[in-house]
Structures are given as C-alpha cells and as structure tokens.
Structure 1
Amino acid sequence: MRYGSIDQKSQGGEELYRMIFDHSMDGIILADPGDYGKILSANPAACRMLGWTEEELVGKECDAISDLQEPTLSALLDERTHSGSARAQLTYRRKDGTTFPGEVSMTFFTDSNGEPRTVAIIRDITDLKQAEGVLLESENRYKAIFDNSLDGIFVTIPDGIILAANPAACQMFGMTEEELISAGRNGTVDTSDPRLNSVLDERARTGRFKGELNHRRKDGTIFPSEISSILFKDENGLTKGVMVIRDISERKKAEKTLQESEERFRSAFDDSAVAMALVGPDVRISRVNDAFCQMLGFEKSKIEGRTFLDFTYPDDIEPSLLAHKAVITGEKPFLWIEKRYIRKDGQVIWCDVSSSPVLDSKGCPIYTVAHIQDITERKRAEDTLAFERSQLLSIFDGMDDAVYVADPYTYEVLYANKAMKERLGVEFVGGSCYREFQRRSSPCDFCTNPMILKERDKPYQWEYYNPTVNRYFMIMDRIIKWPDGRDVRFEIAKDITARKKAEEALRESEAKYRNLFETVQEALYIEQLIYDEPGNVVDWIFEDFNPAGFELLGLKDIGEAKGKRGSEVLGCEVASFYLPMIEMARQSSKAVTFQYRSPYVDKQFLTSYIVSGDRLVSTHVDITELKKIEAALRESEERLRLLGDNLPDSAVYQYAHEPDGSVRFLYFSAGIEKLNGIKVSDVLRDPSTLHRQIPPDYFERLVEAEARSVSELSDFNMETPMHLPDGQVKWMRLHSRPRRLPDGRTIWDGVQTDVTELKRAEEQLHETELSCKVAEAVESERQRLFDVLETLPVMICLLTSDHHIAFANRSFREKFGESGGRHCYEHCFGSTLPCEFCESYQVLETGQPHNWEVTTPDGSVIDIYSFPFTDVDGSPMILKMDIDITERKQAEEKLRDSEEKYRNIVETANEIILITDKESAITYVNKKMVDMLGYTLEEFIGRPIWSFISEECKPVVKMKLEKRVQGISESYELKLIRKDGSSLWTFLNAKPLFDKEGKYMGAMSMLTDITKRKEAEEALSIIETARKKEIHHRIKNNLQVISSLLDLQAEQFRDRDNIKDSEVLEAFRESQDRVVSMALIHEELYKGDGFETLNFSPYIKELVENLFQTYRLGDIDISLNIDLEENVFFDMDTAVPLGMIVNELVSNSLKHAFIGRDKGEIRIELHREEFTELESENCKSTNFTLTVSDNGVGIPDNLDIEDLGSLGMQLVVSLIDQMNGELEMKRNNGTEFTMKFTVTEKDNLAQVGLKSQENG
C-alpha cells in the first residue's frame, strides 16, 4: 500500500498515529476547546514532561498544568479562537509543583463525530532558556569581577593604549575612565622607574609578567604597586592585555614602622631594673639584661648562648623544663614558677620567675620573655612554718576515719587526710569545703560552723547523708588551733553507710510484703499446723489472713478467727474436709493445686497449698462463675453446629491463629463435605487439606488478608477458586469476623459459600462490555492519529524502502511543499541520487531507532530521529522526525565565546576569585587560588568552603553568609589555611548571586592577599604587648615598694605605747590599702591577656579579701556577701577610682560598723541596669549600679555624706564626682552606699570587653 493518499480508517493509519503519538519528543495533549478545557489524552512525552501518568492527566482542567497568571496565556487563547491555531511560550507546572518554560502550538480540529477538539504540542525549552541565562550570567559575572575588584584593572593593547579601566583603577589614579584611556601607559607609569623596560620585555617574550613597579597618579604623586599582566587574543584574533595593579604603599609603611618599633623594645629591655632574659624554644638564653647578670654574678658573655639549665639547681631542672614546654606548646598562656638558681659564688638563691611567649605570624613561639625576682628570704620563713605543720598532719594521715581541716570563716580546705581523699576520690585542698564536698555554689544551710565557733571547747556530733558520694557519715566537729595560729574547723567522719542501707532494706521488704498480702484479690491464709503424737495433722490455728480471706470466712470481727483453731471457726466437720488436702501438701515438696466445692460456702474454688515446716500458706480463688460460663458455652456450640450442618451451599467454620503463628480449624460444619469433597475430620486434623485446593497466588492473598485481619481485628472477606478432588473448580466466598482471646489467640467465626454460578454470570457480562469498549477505542484512536499529525510542530514523514515519501505532515509540507509521491532526495534537495550523508536508512538494517544531525544548504541545523515502522501489508518503512535546532546551536556558540573572554580576565586577575553555591560548596576558583593555597583545581570543586577556612574565622563567616542570603554585599578580613597547614590572610569582598526569579543561588567572592600586612601588624602587636607588660610589671613593683615602705614606717610607731592606736598608725594602714588597691589592678593586667581593660569582678574579690586580712577584728565573725556581674571589663580610668571607692567603704565598715558586736555582714553588689545600653552616632553607653552595705551600727541620722570629714569619705565623694556619678546613702539596718555611674565605649572599653567575652 502506498501513501500518496491515506485511508483514515486503515489499520496502517492507526499504527502510524500511535507511532507518532508514542515516540514524539514533544508533549502532545488532546483537550476540549473551552478556555481551560478538560484534557482527553496525553502522550508519554507529555507525561514525562509534567510528571503525571496519562490516567492522572485525563479529566483535569488545562489550568492545572499551566501558569494562568501569565498575560501571554490570554493572548494565546484569543489567537487560537480567531485563527484556529496559535503559538507562544508559557510556563508549565509539574505534578511536584516545579515549573519549566515551554513552547506550545495549539490547533482547532473536528473529530469523526463532529466534536470540536484542541491539540496542544508542548516543547520543553528549558535547555534553550538555561543557555540564554548562562550567557547572561557569564556577562554579569565578568562585569561584577571587573567592577568590584579592589585592585585596579586595565584592558590594554601591547603598544600601551588603555581600552578600559575599572572603578578601583580610577580611584587609585584619581582619574575618570576617560582620563585614564587618554593618558595611556606613559601617563600612568613612572617612566623614570628603571624596571619598566624589563617589565615590557618579559611580557612581550613570555606573554605575562608579575612583579613591582612605580605608578603616577593624576596629581603627580608616585606610589609603589604590585602588577600582574597577561596577553590574550580576542574573538577577532587581536592581541590584547589585562593588567591588574595593587597599591602596596601601606605595606611599605608597615615594614618601616616595624623596624622602628624593634628599636624601642631593645631600649626598654636593656635599661630595666628587673632581671630579664629572652629564652628560645630550645631553652637557650639568647639575651639578658644587666640586672640578671648582677643577680647571678656572671658577665653577660658567660650567660648568653647557654641554657637556663646551666644555672638551675639540679632538683629544679625537670619542673623548669616542663613549665617551659607548657608555655612553648601553648598549653599555658604564661609561666609562673618558683625555682632555685646557683650564683657564680656557689650560693643557691630562690627566685620568682614569670614568663610569657612571643609568637611569630603563624602563631609559633619565637622566644619567651622572662622576669626574675630574688625571693630567698621569703622562702626561709616558709620552710620553718612548713616543718611545724607537717608534724600535725602526719598524725591525721594515720587515722582510718576521714579527717579534714577548713577555715570556718572562708570555708577554705586546709588539709584532708589519706582516708578522706580515697573516699571522695579528688584532691580538694585549697578549694571551698561546700564546693568540693557538697558540689554547692554557696555555704551549706546545715553548716555547723556557727555552733562550734560559739562553743569552741565542746565537740559537736551529728549524722549526715552526703548525696555527692551517696554515703552516710557519723561526724564529730570542733574548733582547734592550726600551726599558723588560726582557729580552724577540725572534722572526723566515720562511714556508717552499710548500717543505714541494711536498716532501709529491712523496712522496704516488710512494707512490700504487707502491701502485697493486703491487696491481692485471692483469699490468703497463714496457718499454724497442729499435730497429734504420731505426727498427723489434726487441726490448725489461723495466724493471719488478708481482707479477701476474712470476707470468705463470713465473720463480723477479725477476733472471731485470728489466733483460733480451724475446727472452732469452721466446725469440726468442715475442718475435717480440708485435712486430707493439707496432708497431700505436707507430702509434696512444692505447691499442690486442686479444685473442690466448699462444704463451708456453696462455691467452687481453685486452691493452692504449700507447707513450710509447721506452717501452711493457702490461696483460694473463686471459680464458680467461670464454671457456669463454660457450661453455657458448650450449649451454644451445640446450637451452632446444628445450624451450620443445615445451611444450603454453605459451611460454617471456626478458625484459630495461635500466638506462635500456627493455624488450625476448631470447627467445620458437615456442609464442607458437599462443597469441597473432603471430610470434616481431615480438615480439623490438618488445615492444609483445605488450603491445598486454593491456587498458590490466591493462597498468598489469603495469608496477607488474614495477617491484616489479625493486626486490625477487621472482618475477613475474600473470593477464591478451589480445585476439588474430582477435578471441578468452584468459586468460594469466605467471610469471617475475628476476636482475640486473653491468651493471645485470634479466633475467626465464619461462613464459606459457593458463588461459582454468580462468578460465571459476572465474567460473561464483563467480556461483553470489554468487546464494545475495544471497538470504540480502536475507531477513536485511528481518527485521532490523522488529527494530531497535521498539528505537530516538527516535520514528520514516512519513507518507503526505495526512498519514496509515503506521507508528510503540514510542517513538512510547509518546508518542502507537496511531495506527490516522489523520492525524498528528489523532492527535498533536487538530487537524482540518494544523499550520501543520509543515515536514516540504517534503521532498516539494525531495527533500532537512530538519531543524527545535518546542516542544510541554507545553514539550518536539523536534529533527525528515525524509527523503524511496518506497514499493514508487512512492508518495512521509516518514520522520520526533523527538529530545527539552529537557534540552540547559535546560543551555545555565543556562550563559548563569552566563557573564553571571561576566563582570560579571571585567570589573569591578581586576586583570588571564588564562586560558591547556596550550600556553600565551591563551584569555581581561578588559577590564583590554586597557586596561593597549594591545592589542585579538582580538590577545590565541590568541597565546602569550611575545608579551607581557619577555625577562629568560621563563626564570622557563618554570620556573614546569613547576610549574603538577604542580598547584602560585605568586605572583611578572612584567614585561609593552605594545603601545607600554613595560614593565608586575605581581604574578602563578597557579593550575593540571584537567579532571574530572585532566588539565592550562591555568592561570588574576590580575595586579596594581605598576609605581609598582617605579619607586620602582628609583629607590631607582639612588641607592643611586651612593652605594656613591662610597664604594668614596673608599676606593680613600684607600688609594692611604696606599700612595703609604709608598712616599715608604721612599724616604728607600733612599739610606742603612747601612739600604738593613734590616728598616725591608722593613716599609714589606710594609705597602704589604697596603694595595694592600685597595685592589684596592674597585677591583674600583667597576668591577663589584655592591657586596655580589667575583669572587674575577680579584682574586687581579691581586694576585699586583702582588706579582711588587714582588719582582723578579734573574735568578731564578719561574713562577706559578694554579688558581682561576671565578665564586666573596665578600663583604667574607671577601674582605679571604683577600686579606691570600694577600698574606702569596706575599710570604713570593718573599722566602725561592728563596734560592740560579735558578728556582722558586709555586702558588695555590681550590676548593669536593665535596658540601659544607649547608642549614639559615635559611642555606646551602659549604666551600672555599685552597692556597698553592712548591717552594723550605722551612721547617726543627723550626719550627711558631706558632714563626714574623714579623708576616706572625702576621697569617695571626689572620685564619684570625677566619674560624673551619683552617690546615695541609706541607714536601713546598718549603712548602705549606692553609686550609679555610666561607662561609654568611646571613653571606656567596658563594652568591648563584654563583647570579647561573649564571642570568645
């Protein structure tokens, strides 16, 4: 059959339609002609494209798959209505909610029944749109890099003409882009720089150059720069160059500043009055000052170059090495140790050594700076005191009970013996007793210190449970004298845990037994057996019974039975009834169980007897109702059997599913023998006798339905064929309802019914309906074939084996005209022979589809799909579809050109260029990043950025990434980690990337290497740190000298009777306290890492503890309550006056508040006021409240603060005024001073300190 004309009802047309419909690469949808008509059919390509099955699509409105918000859709529908066909681009929606762009061609036609229809041909143009998007993105990416680079970028030609300049270059040279283009090379380069000619020669020879060169700004100033230049060819073959210029003026200045700073440090080290030494990681002394030489008696040349071990006392060598190693390895931030040195004259001296490391830019120690002070005299006094103390402690260590000694005022643990340490498993000397023993943050509310301090000569004994170690102790506390003269708490604790646990276990066991005995529902009796002389049981006595047992006896008063004989309570005849059963229990070694009807009450019981010695324990369970139920059940089963045996075409059954998974029939009526031809006894014995009649596939369904019925306790319904022994096949309907028994079994009560005749009638009806539907479907599909072929937007034709065109659709005819049955090469290309390039006829040889491309003489690129096809007469044919992909090819070519231009710019950039996706994974890096970090390109792509960022920078980067998602561009410093582990400091400029729909896609970052600048800054910081430490150390030492001088001067007055308690002596002590308060600040700053701010809370605690030591008031018990906000940092201008104020107020309370009293309390509080942080344009302020109070005698009501004439109070008022603060005094139950003041970040670094703590 030839296809010059095609019979629309032919079988060949039907196959052709189905081949086109099923194998089309475009989606084809047949729908009603309404505005958003219902979908009638969809081909496989449309189903794949939209993510729905054809069954899911059929019946849906067209608006379910397209975006109705697009104005294009309305215009498309109008065009289709007026002209009969239309074409446009729309957005389509998949089943999962995602969308894609599509090109649609819509055509009206009328089917064989005269019904109007619409055919929509949909092509997914995602690839084309993506190619356009990538091209645009490439252009934008190039422009973003060019415009946002921190370095200047020129695009030039070799003869020095500047073609383009980025904003950074304009800013760097102080010119506009037009002025730079006009100036050219000679107007921007320092032509007197002798390196210029070598730069140009090297770039001409190798195509690239990197190095330093001087440039000239518009105002004539010269600046040093680092340049990177490369030559490339553009799309027209012209040679061009990219030059990246970086201003390195700041780096040059930093190098000069570093040299000057080193000179200042050298002067401070050599002139110091404190012995100092620089010690390297190898413990060699590289440098010492004159004070160190004088202390050891050696010349400088005899010390430098040797290790500090050469001058260390032998016993101190190992601890000195360990301490030095801890500082060098970074385990400790600084070293503070007491050790012995050997002088040149052989004398051994004790020294206090403090040392801190100086690090290089990579964080590795270069050397340590050590300060050494002679403390020989102090050590001698300490040795004498230690000998006396060791004598006392040796006695305590020999005791088995736990012993410890603590200060009753400060709660500090001074000593714990071996037994104490073993019980608690920790070393707690030096800690607080309530914190170490009880794990509390404040003194215990049950502490015995007040009692033993009140009655010092009497021991106090008490029991205590310690939850920390889960032990009970018998404790003896009392006050004793310590070798240093202090009154201390002495405690001996004996472990009594075993005794306590035994007592508790006994109580719990008795309570558990009695509770069980009283609450069980069975009647329980405990009875004392009575024997005759031969040893036979003749009676018993009721010793005990539970409430259920008492109720069973039917008595009104427990006294009527408890303690009485069984014969007396029950009567001799009833008692004799139980004696044989008791005798059976005696003869058995275990419990004996039996059923009986009681002669005492008309009930049946299940009873258990067990005899132990001469006692009987009996349990009685009433089973009267259970026996009645069993009798009723037997009667009901008999009625069911009679009913089941007489049902027509049915059988009644009972089926059981055991807990172990096994199954069996409990009952089957006689009807099974007529229905299935098997005996009831065989089925009850072996259920597989019936199951074997069910085909395997139906039996699997039966097992699944049975399992579902068991789990859900739902009805079981199923129809299945059964193969009877005589060869018949019958259809049976099984219906049953499950119930679950207490023992875990599931029982089905069901009916099996023969439905064979009903199934036959249903099958005949189904076959008739199916035949009608098939005939209608074939006719409908044949008609749709010819309707769809004409509307397909691709060129389709059918070719015979001898190259004749048997059929061509409208798109093919529009391209090549009517074929008239001619050969394809004749009709399409005017040739007399088959085309040499044609590959379509390969499908006749292979029998497989084939895809290939061809370029037509007019330059169009055609994507061809060829499929094997068989005519109704068996003739082989070829179904060929041609798709014009010229536009896509042109877009791909433009994309390649753009990528090449972008790559030349990026790869020659002097900055690291990095692109990441929305998950922070790297998608692109330039060659600069590969060179700088030492990784290969493959090791970068796909890895998260965290693999290359230092740990301390990761929190900052995470915070910045959140802003990037919000569309915020930022610049900040970032430390990267090279492959060899070394650090690389960069300055990062990041910009977010979004797609055309505004969805965040990732970020592009440009990173500038600032490592040399950071190294210079770190070197300056190291020198500044050492200088500040030295200043604080000197100030602290000088203040300690002043304090010592005041103390010595006061000693001269202390021995004079007439002025021993005079104001002169008091004035010396007050002055000494003020000096100590300032010295403590410098000591804290010296020990800490920072030098600008002081952590105020630890400083105040240490200051007040010193005051308490200074003012020991005999037997007065004064407690200290401190509530200070943690991590509050003040600078010197704030910390010094606040420290002096606290010193004056606490000293005043210790001297005057508790006169005539035996105890008291001093309270100190410091808090930030809520919601008081105020920010202005240049500063940030925070309000604080400091309160110092006591519960002493108070200040008289007739005196105000201004009337207090002491120097201390005058100083407090003056310091408050100096801080612009407010001072308020209250007299409620003592005296309370409240100071309110404000710290400003611009003038005070308190807020900076707080932030560093929060971030650290």
Structure 2
Amino acid sequence: MTHPWLLPTIITATPSAFFLIFIYLYLYKKEGQKALLAWSICWIFHLLGYLGNIMQVGGADAYKYFPSFSIDFLRAFFQFLGCFYFLNKPFTKPFQVLFSLAGLWALYLDLEKITNEYLAWPIYILIGGSQIYTGIIFLKTKNLIPSLGKIIAGWIFILWGIHVFNYPFLKFHPEFGYIGFFIAGLFRFSSAIVILLVFFEETKAALSKTEGNYKKIVDTTLEGIWLIDKYAKTKFVNSKMAEFLGMSEKELIGKNLYDFITPDATEAVNKRLEERKQGKAEVHDFYFKRPDGEPVWLLMSTNPIFDAQGNYEGALAMCTDITFYKKTETALKESERQLSTLIRNLPGIAYRCAYDPDWTMEFISEGCFELTGYSPSDFVSNRTISFGEIIHPEDTERVFQEVTEAVSKNLPYRLLYRIHRRSGEIRWAFEQGSGVRGENGELIALEGFITDFTQVKLAEEIMANALQEKDLLLKEVHHRVKNYLQVLSSLLSIQLEQVEASNPTQVLTESQNRILSMAYVHESLYGKHRISDEFFPEFVSRLVDSLLKSFGHKKEEIQIFLNCESLPIKQNSAIPIGLILNELVTNVLKHAFSFKADSEEKIIKISFYKEGDWIHLDVSDNGKGKSSDSKQEDSMGLELVELLTKQLKGSVIDLSSKQGTITRIRFPASN
C-alpha cells in the first residue's frame, strides 16, 4: 500500500527535471563542454524515472514492464561521467568494467522482471559508491578553485551516495517510498543546482584569469594598442600606445585621431577610415605629431570592428614605433644620394666586378660613358660587351697577372693599361682597386676606380720629347759656340793682317761689334724660344742701337726705318744673317754720312721680307753713294758679306746710285 503523499511528491519533482534538462542543454550549446551534455542526458533519464514512478504509483498496468533498474543505472552513470569530465578525471578501465557489468545486470533484472531487492543491491551499491567517490573528488581536487560551492557539492554527493544504499529497501516497501522519493529528489535537485553553481564559479574564474592574462598581454606588450570608435575618437589605449603618443592613458581617452596628424595627411586618413568602414584591413606606416612637437612614425596593423548586426563600430590598430628606423632610413637614403652624386660626378669609373678574365661588371658608374663611349648597362653582366674586351690585347694578360698577384697577397692593385673606346680611339686608363672577401675569407668580387690617364701619358711623352730635344739643343749649342768661336778666331786673324794699315782702335771696335752681333743673335735664338720666328725684328732694333752708340751717333741724328717681317729662320742661318746686317749697317755708318752736315737729313732703311721663294734683306741710306774705290775703303767687310751670302746660297745685289746706297741680300726661303 502506497503513502498518499508519494504521488504528489513525484509529480512535484517532475517539472524540475524538465527545467534542468533545458538549462544543461542551453549551456552545452553555448559552451560546448562534454560534461554539460552528459548531465543533460542524465536528467533525461531522471525525467523518464519520474514518469515511470508516476505510472507505478498510479497503478498503471505498464509498470511491471518499466525498466526501472536500467534507468536508475543510466542516470547515475551519466551523472558520474559528467562529473568526471567536469573534474578533468579520466574514466579509467576499472570504472568502464564495473559500470559495464552493472549495466548488463540492470538490463538482465528488467528483462527477467526480477523484483528481489537483494539481487538489485549490487546496482545501487555501485551507484552509491560512485556518488560517494565523486563527492570525495570534489572535496580533494585541485582542478577547481577553492570555493564554498565545491565543498557543498562534495558533501551532497557523499550524503546522496549513502542514501542510495537504502534505496532497494525503500523501493520494495511502498509505505516508506514517499520518504525515499522526497530525500532522493532533494539530493537530485540540490546536486544539479550546486553543480551549476560550481560550473559558474569556474567559468567566472576562468574568465577572470583570461581577462587577467589579456590585461597582462596588453600592458606588457611592446606594441601599442589603439581602439577608436566610428567617429575616430579614442576608446582604449594601452600604456605603450600612450608612451608612443606622449600622453597618459586617461588623457588619450576621447581624443580624436585627427588631433595627432598633420593637415596634409587629412586626406590620406579619410581614405583609410573609409576603407575600414568597408571592412578592409591594412598594414601601413604613418607619421604622427606628439603634443610636444616630436614626430613619431608607427607601423600600424589596422582592422575594422563590427557589431553583431554588421554595423561599423570602429577600428583596432596594433602599433610599433619605427621612428628610429625611419630616421635611419632617411639618413641612409641621404647617404646613398650623396654617394650616388659623388660617384656620378667622379671623373672616372667606380665599379664592382667579378674576378674573371672578362671582368664581368656587377656595378659600374656613369663615368664609363665618357671614358669608354659605352653606357653602364652595356657592361653589367656583359649585356653588350665585357670590360675585358675593350682592354688592349697587348695589355690583357699583364693586367690579369698583376691583379691575380695582388689579390693572392691580399694587397690593393694599381694598373696602367690601354683601352679601345667605342669609336676605336685608344686611351690610357689608370686603375686602383682591391678584392672583396666574404665571411669565410673567400674572394667574392673586386671593387675599385678607373680614371682617364691619357692626358698624363701625353704629358709624359711631351716631357720626354722635350728633354730629348733640350739634350739635342744643348749639344747643338755647344757645337754652335765652338763654330762661333772659330768664326771669331778667323775674323780676328783677318783683322790682324790689316792692323798695320788701319787704325787699331777702329779694328778692335769693328771686331767688338761683330762679336756683339753674334751675341745678340745667340740671345734672341736661345734666350726665350727654342726656334723664334720673331727674333729678327728684335735683333735688328738692338743691333742698330748698339752700332749707333759704337760710332758715337745719337738716335735723333739718324732716322732709322725698319720694315722687318716675322719669318721662320733656321738656326744655322741666323748667325750669317746677323753678321751680314752688322757689316752693311757698319759700312753705312762709316762711309755714307761723312760729307753730310749735322743739319742734313740722314736716313737708314732696313727691310726684311719674303718674296716668292726668296727672303730679301735690304739695307739702304741717303748718303753720298758708292764711288769707284768703295771696295777698297772697306774691302774686308764686303768680302765677309760676300762670303756669308754664299754660305746662305744667296747673292748680293748692289742697287746703289748717286743718291744713296742700296744693298740687297737674297737667299732661298728653304735654306
């Protein structure tokens, strides 16, 4: 006979089963934990058990066919399994064997409709024992945070397990069933509630731990985190971002992005914000202005943020300070620009090439065009021609040997060789360079500089030729001096023969004038120029002045008219021409004006000019003219003129008249 409170007790407990099933299923859907799914299944079997008990107490005929042992076993199994999942305990093989045997035994009792409470005891001993074990684990586990909920859960499972041990006795004594159903229902509902309590405590603790970890990450990261809303106002920054922008975190909250940019960057920022609204993420660098005026460059990884409905809420940027790298990059670009300008304006070639017979160029400066006639692109990787091909064939082997020898000794090399320009012209090149070695000491390239050495080479040749010519000239001078001394010796010998018949003073004066004439020629030829085209006009002027002074005449007494062209004269002709002029002017000064009064006009004209293939030397005066015995008056001077003119392969032409004397010396221009 059943107690009248039994059925109401069971019916009252049934809705809680529906409630808990939905709670566990909802949490499983949100969290996806296997423990929640096991507990959901457990409460499904609790519900089935309640329904079976209602049929049993209500007297339904189907009761004797209801598998009550199997349902009791399954709800206990899934509750135990859920607790193991929740506590991160392995469901070991002994448990698997025990529960498998108990399940088979419960199924057997239900199929055979066995109602003996002693045969049912093994099932409920296992169920009670597993719940006591679960309670102990709850109390002792370190996988859960210390909390009151954990302690309550542990004792509820222990007490529930103890209560289960008397379940077979109460099950077969309906008059006491309402007590068992009431206590069991209280434990079931309490365990469900306390499990949820522990679950939420663990979830909250995990969330707090996660938030703490996130906060640590945000606070300790070397990257700045900047969150703005849809109006570009700052919603959040971490300490590193505040450090980048030179303000505190509190000061930055509410600040607009546009407060940190320069006016010329507004258009770029607008464009990027529009891209964020369209859902585009981007990594870019950007320049910001700190409140203290200091510039800061940030590398920003920006991502848009949308709400659940897809509406744009703002953007999140992860920022890295690259100001130092930007400054370094700017300095490097400036250095590269300066180096490029320097290399571009160098009067020669800066290069980097491979160590091979072709001298394969990796880099060659623009100066190569002026030196070689080829553009840099022609040489790089031997695209059009190799540098080795333009080196003169006679110098190719020597250049390679000299470079090889220097590189093998790890010394710089200096080379002088010829190259063929694109036009075919040969130029001299001076090269200086050294080997470039890798980390392991291996030769990886050659670097150096090549400059045009042609002008220096030409200057060296000119200097060498000049030295050779000066040497020959010195020998010539010695030879000429010796010849001139011989001439002087001959002249003095001739004069000695006439000393007795002549005035000794006059003889010496004439000899002195001849020597001075030769000295003037020598000075004009060798004093200023190697071969002087202008020596004769200068020589004539000095000679006439000297002769006037020698014969005691003043410049104003005699008018001198000179008409002397600048004609090239060979060195071996200069002395004879000078002596001829000396003798002719001397004769004029000695004889032409002896019968003229001081007040009368006295004129000497000297002309030196070229006519056809002949050079003419004319000396004329307005004196008394020549008499029949003129030759006897100064026979030595005239003989000397005849002799010297023959030496020039020329002739003496006398154009004299009573109005004056004109003597013309004519000799070949090629003489």
TM range (shorter): 0.3 to 0.5
Greater RCO structure (CA 8 Å; 6+ sep): 1
Q: TM-score, normalised by structure 2?
A: 0.33
- Higher alpha-carbon Rg: 2
More helix by share: 2
Q: TM-score, normalised by structure 1?
A: 0.20
